[in-house]
Amino acid sequence: MHPPSQNASQCWVCGGTHLVLAKRSNLGHAFISTDFLITDSRYGVTGDILRCADCGFRQCSNQPDVLPFYESMEDLAYEQGRAQRFLQQQKLVKLIAHRGDGKRLLDVGAGTGMLVERAISVGYRAEGVEPSRWCQEQAAKRGLPVHLGGFPHPAAQGPYDAVTLIDVVEHVPAPIPLLSAIAKVLKPDGQLLIVTPDVGSFVAGLLGWRWWHYRVAHVGYFDRSTLRRALQASGLEVIRSGRPGWYFSADYLTERVMTYLPRGLRFAPPAWFKRVTIPLNLCDSMYVICRPTA
């Protein structure tokens, strides 16, 4: 299967040309960098979402290049949740291996370097790439090897034993070229770990367009079938899959739940909520571990 060309009139996964408008944009203004915050809580606010009548993939292809918005994006709230997010990275690194044993790992879309930091702590020779100047600067302040830019990147040369793509592929308007580039830098026995929202999950269906993963920054919506199809087109095969869990401070989680309640029922969480960490798995995200096809 050849990767489809990436344009507004073709499906980014199967190359089909039968795209129908599934949801009209309700953003209400031209795109700005704050629309792409990692911690954006305007659930259900999106650009135009088109659905492929052939494979079911949903994509936002009627919008400009989003890379400049990521490059200038700053998200202070993201760093404030570092302790909880670091717990998540610990679990994700363990999905590949409990110990790195000197193996090479690349984190694509590394943010402020939390996964890179965890991978180094268990023995990986880890590095990352990240387009946000602010995020990359936060990683550099901690002495973490995160290169500024997207992938492919001249400073991130394979072969790698492992590549991680955590909550990134849904932000990319050309997923198959990205996945194909990753497949090329993996060792023959290397592994790619992907985490992404599952638009086919029960919770996504229950909440409809108010699902928290319907956000401006998310331009591609995968289910298990379309993700597997994209991987196959990229020279990758799935060897394991599952549902990842997350960790949140109680105040962060409370504030997010409040967005679904009438204003009269909302309240400000007490200060001590910041010190409480809550594990959560609503089974509306998926992870896959894959390897290059022989």
Q: How far apart are CA 7 and CA 115, in angstroms?
A: 32
The answer to whether position 50 is within a domain reads yes
pLDDT of residue 3: 37
The answer to whether position 217 is within a domain reads yes
The closest alpha carbon to 129, from 141, 120, 115, belongs to 115
The residues near 13 (Cβ < 8 Å, ≥ 6 apart) are: 4, 52, 55, 57, 175, 176, 226, 229, 230, 233
Q: How far apart are CA 6 and CA 10, in angstroms?
A: 7
The answer to whether position 1 is within a domain reads no
pLDDT of residue 2: 34
Task: Classify 70 as helix, strand or coil.
Answer: helix
Give the count of beta carbons closer than 10 Å to the beta carbon of residue 10.
18
pLDDT of residue 8: 63
The answer to whether position 185 is within a domain reads yes
DSSP run (H or E) holding 190: strand 186-197
Q: How far apart are CA 222 and CA 198, in angstroms?
A: 6
pLDDT of residue 47: 94
pLDDT of residue 266: 83
Q: How far apart are CA 190 and CA 124, in angstroms?
A: 13
The answer to whether position 216 is within a domain reads yes
Domains in the chain: how many in total? 1
pLDDT of residue 265: 84
Helices (H) and strands (E) in the chain, counts: 9, 13
pLDDT of residue 225: 98
The answer to whether position 104 is within a domain reads yes
Question: CB–CB of 60/219 below 8 Å?
Answer: yes
The residues facing 130 across adjacent strands are 148
Range of the domain at 116: 19-292
Question: CB–CB of 110/129 below 8 Å?
Answer: yes
The answer to whether position 14 is within a domain reads no
Question: CB–CB of 238/231 below 8 Å?
Answer: yes
pLDDT of residue 137: 97
Question: CB–CB of 19/4 below 8 Å?
Answer: no
Q: How far apart are CA 231 and CA 180, in angstroms?
A: 8
CATH code of the domain in which 38 resides: 3.40.50.150
pTM for the model: 0.93
DSSP run (H or E) holding 161: strand 160-166
The closest alpha carbon to 127, from 111, 159, 104, belongs to 104
The answer to whether position 69 is within a domain reads yes
pLDDT of residue 157: 93
Local confidence pLDDT in tens for the 294 residues of the chain:
333 334 568 999 999 999 999 999 999 999 999 999 999 999 999 999 999 999 999 999 988 888 899 999 999 988 888 889 999 999 999 999 888 899 999 999 999 999 999 999 999 999 999 999 999 999 999 999 999 999 999 999 989 999 999 999 999 999 999 999 999 999 999 999 999 999 999 999 999 999 999 999 999 999 999 999 999 999 999 999 999 999 999 988 888 888 888 888 888 888 898 889 999 999 999 999 999 997
Task: Classify 87 as helix, strand or coil.
Answer: helix
